[in-house]
Structure 1
Amino acid sequence: MTILSVRKFFAAAVLVACLPLAPHTASAAPAANLPDFTDLVDKVGPAVVNIRTTARVSNSTRGLPPGMDDGDMSEFFRRFFGIPMPNSPQSPGTPNSPRGGNNGNNDQDQSPDNGPDTEQNSGVGSGFILSPDGYVMTNAHVIDDADTIYVTLTDKREFKAKLIGVDERTDVAVVKINAANLPTVPIGDSNKVRVGEWVVAIGSPFGLENTVTAGIVSAKGRDTGDYLPFIQTDVAVNPGNSGGPLINMQGEVIGINSQIYSRTGGFMGISFAIPIDEAMRVADQLKASGKVVRGRIAVAIGEVTKDVADSLGLPKAQGALVSSVEPGGPADKAGVQPGDIILKFNGHNVDTATDLPRMVGDTKPGTKATITLWRKGQTREVPVTVAEMQPEKAAKADQKKAPTPKPRASNALGVAVSDIPAEQMKSLKLHNGVQVDAVDGPAARVGLQRGDIILRVGDTDITSAKQFEEVTSHLDASKMVALLVRRGENTQFVPVRPRASK
């Protein structure tokens, strides 16, 4: 660096030093409108508990390798080390050894290996106190297969809990501890939850008690295939958080943290909570009787897609598509048929297929209800008597040998069909339909398969292969047509666009 350049450098430095201090920029100012969770945590935190479960493990196993018993291990230690197996009655220093300080008593029945089973930690989770007299809510999977349940409060008191009841369908469980004047959490209204609002989770992720995380509600009514629609959040929820409360900014519980979406076992930005309204309905029944009673109408259902709605003339994609009806069940007695679309149950709209099981489940068995359904372009109402839900029974589809494929179909749908023998119709409990022998073109593109049974084309019931060919010959290639198809025990509508005649 030359002398001139050095002088210029110092001159610039002096100029900068003489400039007045600039005011704080917006980026340096403290962030505004961010929530403060401190008072909320002080209020709710004491009512959140840690739940630890144990299971009884037989001492006789002691984690030996598969196929080995104590005799094998004793021989191994004697042959290769010249000593008895550690913790065996003959091992020096064990409580039952003459040199172990047990007054020379070498009674093998006192050996730890022959003693009672021992407790082993089997899981850890969270929960929250519902009432001052000790009722605690948590997830069913937290206390699954537990022999003993321990509840630890924030003041470090630990209680052995009594299991009141479990409902696996909603993943809700209630336990009780013998205590009084306990802090509780106020119960909110999950129906008032808004997407984007701030929420807080308190629990024991990875066994770390009283951990607080915060985020926002990402979505409501998220269907994950379970009985309930979940509240989705971006709150950090990890293993051990299960059963803990999801709390709004008013300090109210609006959900129970239950599931996470993860490819690694850790938090990845998506977590799910059981809506507290549904959980409290379950908890009230568990406290009253130890079990949950639900209604059923004995149908299997599926979603109504836009293509199906358009092809059937429905104003919009809504309702629950009946795919099968249990013979002799309430829906069967009421006249509900596969292919019907249930639009309302007891006057309440069925917007999606997952709405119906909740509506029916919340209905007391024995109640007479009204089903509004869509069939062949018309709505109709049918009365049904709700029955009590029983444990699900596995249903096996009849396995029939597929007939020999026929030549490629030339009709507008690309389906070759044949009549179904009367004996097979009776065994399948069908009154009409034709069997698919081969598919190509439009039918192949929408996934029809050989062996499927076509019950209806549009609003026309199909009774024979000849009639099927007649009906398909008049289809409009510019409009979608809905085929009512049975595959195994399930029935669904399949929208198909006919090909134009050549």
Structure 2
Amino acid sequence: MQKINPFRQSALWLAFVFAVFAHSVSARELPDFTELVEDNSAAVVNISTTTERKAPGGGAYGSPFDQRQFEQLPEFFQDFFRGPQSPFGGAPGGQPPRQSMGSGFIVSSDGYVLTNNHVVEGADEIIVRLNDRRELPARLVGTDPRSDMAVLKIEDGDDLPVVQIGRSRDLKVGEWVLAIGSPFGFDYTVTAGIVSALGRSLPSENYVPFIQTDVAINPGNSGGPLFNLDGEVIGINSQIYTRSGGFMGVSFAIPIDDAMNVFRQLRDEGSVSRGWLGVLIQEVNRDLAESFGLKRPRGALVAEVMAGSPAEDAGLQSGDIVLQYEGEDVALSSDLPPMVGRTPVGETASLQVLRGGKTINVDVEIGRLPEDGQARASSPAERGSPSSSAPLGLSVEPLPSEIADAWDLSSGGVLVTNVAPGPAREAGIRPDDVITELNRQPIGSLDDFADVVESLPEDSAVSVRVIRQGRASYFVMKP
């Protein structure tokens, strides 16, 4: 019989104890969501909507009349328009209404509910179902498509359960978060993950600095709450990035700080007002940073200042780079719109701007963001006398008056007629672009263009301001 070495036996025992201890410590570090879910599920609601199908012309389905007119018709006429013999595309019994489903949460005991705009958009009937299986009708208080938010009011709501509102500005990347919603109609589904990133800007939403998470969010989760470990709502689940139609590990939530601002305005005013600067901006990449004398890419490059805007009144110019807004760094161009949007209309904001290689401060009285953007039409042009610029690989001609008038180019410019292989093509310049600035020098005529081209530095990045279809952008060329 083989004897066990006492020292070896002790070592094995210690290893076992250490493994058990390590497992226990690891288990204690993982969050327990059970209490959070029990405390907050009652204030999370399922939202179902019903939308009557309309005829292509906007009337009741299967007829040329609107819904009210249709209901006033004699019954045999209504049957005719619903029937298969209808010349307006009716169907037996008419088309069934469209139904959809989403999530939301109660923020006040008298029945105010927050959800996404796309959950209730166009709905004729909204029903809110609570955790205790009560189904209550709700009316639409207001919507804000720019932030994809909607506010509902439960009819006859009284002493309803509510969520606790947290502060999204205190969030940190890597923090645990939890979502409660109704993905695919499965009520009160709980999913958890971490904050993946903060301040994300999406192409369709310029005024929302989204919270990115890896929490499993699917169709039906929209409008539901995102909780932190303290049981506070810090976001509204809104969008997912997907190629399959389902969860792929990237989801986005509206920060609750922004959401509550929208909620208060919709509840009290019925609409949302946002701060407006009146500039078109673009990202500062490495080449643009070099051409403007920045050591690293940062800030928001002003490509165009809109006429009559607060920016124009304050003296902002195209080619300015906004480095700070109210003392807060502007790292990316997408950081600026939410900062401006959160500023109350009429307040004065201080901007730190890079202009001509020097840093200056500009004070701007923030205006109200217009409801509709300013559209600019383009006009056909008669070709003038062309001029060629071999170092850049492009040909230009005088700016036709029709284009100058249509795009409000009172300071002039030159029209690009041809782009050959070379620096201009590599930079992305196209025929019919209008060049108004080259190497930070204004271009008002062919002579201006020729003079600036002749003095361009070799093997150095130079900026080019281009008007394309009425919109300004900066490009970088290396002659």
- Taking structure 2 as the reference length, the TM-score comes to 0.82
Separation of aligned partners in 2, 1:422 and 1:133: 61
Pick which of 135-144 and 375-384 moved more: 375-384
1:173 aligned residue (123, 146, 150): 150
User: 1:268 corresponds to which residue?
Assistant: 248
Separation of aligned partners in 1, 2:211 and 2:405: 46
What is the Cα deviation at residue 257 of structure 1?
A: 0.6
CA 70–204 in structure 1, closer or farther in 2 if over 3 Å, else same: closer
What is the Cα deviation at residue 398 of structure 1?
A: 1.7
What is the Cα deviation at residue 481 of structure 1?
A: 1.2
User: 2:232 corresponds to which residue?
Assistant: 252
Query: Larger radius of gyration, structure 1 or 2?
Result: 1
User: 1:80 corresponds to which residue?
Assistant: none
Q: Deviations over 1:67-120 (max 9, x none)?
A: x9656459xxxxxxxxxxx98xxxxxxxxxxxxxxxxxxxxxxxxx6xxx9984
Does the 8 Å CA contact 2:382/2:400 hold for their aligned counterparts? Answer: no
The correspondence of residues 174-323 of structure 1 with structure 2, limited to 5 A, is 174-177=151-154, 178-225=156-203, 226=205, 227-323=207-303
Pick which of 393-402 and 146-155 moved more: 393-402
User: 1:420 corresponds to which residue?
Assistant: 399
Does the 8 Å CA contact 1:54/1:119 hold for their aligned counterparts? Answer: no
Separation of aligned partners in 2, 1:181 and 1:204: 24
2:426 aligned residue (445, 448, 467): 445
Does the 8 Å CA contact 1:402/1:451 hold for their aligned counterparts? Answer: no
User: 2:140 corresponds to which residue?
Assistant: 163
What is the Cα deviation at residue 173 of structure 1?
A: 1.3
Separation of aligned partners in 1, 2:386 and 2:299: 37
AA aligned to 2:160 is L
Listed as ranges, the gaps of 5+ residues in structure 1 are: 1-21, 75-85, 88-112
User: Given the alignment of the two structures, is residue 395 of structure 1 paired with residue 397 of structure 2, yes or no?
Assistant: no
Separation of aligned partners in 2, 1:186 and 1:71: 52
AA aligned to 1:420 is L
How many corresponding residue pairs?
435
CA 429–462 in structure 1, closer or farther in 2 if over 3 Å, else same: closer
Counterpart secondary structure, 1:354: helix
AA aligned to 1:168 is P
Separation of aligned partners in 2, 1:451 and 1:34: 60
User: 1:132 corresponds to which residue?
Assistant: 109
What is the Cα deviation at residue 458 of structure 1?
A: 1.8
What is the Cα deviation at residue 421 of structure 1?
A: 4.7
User: 2:471 corresponds to which residue?
Assistant: 490
Does the 8 Å CA contact 2:416/2:434 hold for their aligned counterparts? Answer: yes
CA 148–434 in structure 1, closer or farther in 2 if over 3 Å, else same: same
CA 299–367 in structure 1, closer or farther in 2 if over 3 Å, else same: same
1:49 aligned residue (29, 38, 45): 45
CA RMSD of aligned residues (A): 3.2
Does the 8 Å CA contact 2:322/2:354 hold for their aligned counterparts? Answer: yes
Separation of aligned partners in 1, 2:54 and 2:212: 41
Does the 8 Å CA contact 1:406/1:438 hold for their aligned counterparts? Answer: no
AA aligned to 2:190 is V
Does the 8 Å CA contact 1:405/1:437 hold for their aligned counterparts? Answer: no
Counterpart secondary structure, 1:41: helix
Does the 8 Å CA contact 1:407/1:438 hold for their aligned counterparts? Answer: no
Separation of aligned partners in 2, 1:416 and 1:121: 56
CA 217–368 in structure 1, closer or farther in 2 if over 3 Å, else same: closer
The correspondence of residues 111-122 of structure 1 with structure 2, limited to 5 A, is 120=97, 122=99
What is the Cα deviation at residue 361 of structure 1?
A: 1.9
Does the 8 Å CA contact 2:323/2:352 hold for their aligned counterparts? Answer: yes
- Taking structure 1 as the reference length, the TM-score comes to 0.78
Residue identity (%): 46
Does the 8 Å CA contact 1:339/1:492 hold for their aligned counterparts? Answer: no
Does the 8 Å CA contact 1:339/1:491 hold for their aligned counterparts? Answer: no
CA 123–40 in structure 1, closer or farther in 2 if over 3 Å, else same: same
User: 2:32 corresponds to which residue?
Assistant: 36
CA 492–133 in structure 1, closer or farther in 2 if over 3 Å, else same: same
Counterpart secondary structure, 1:40: helix
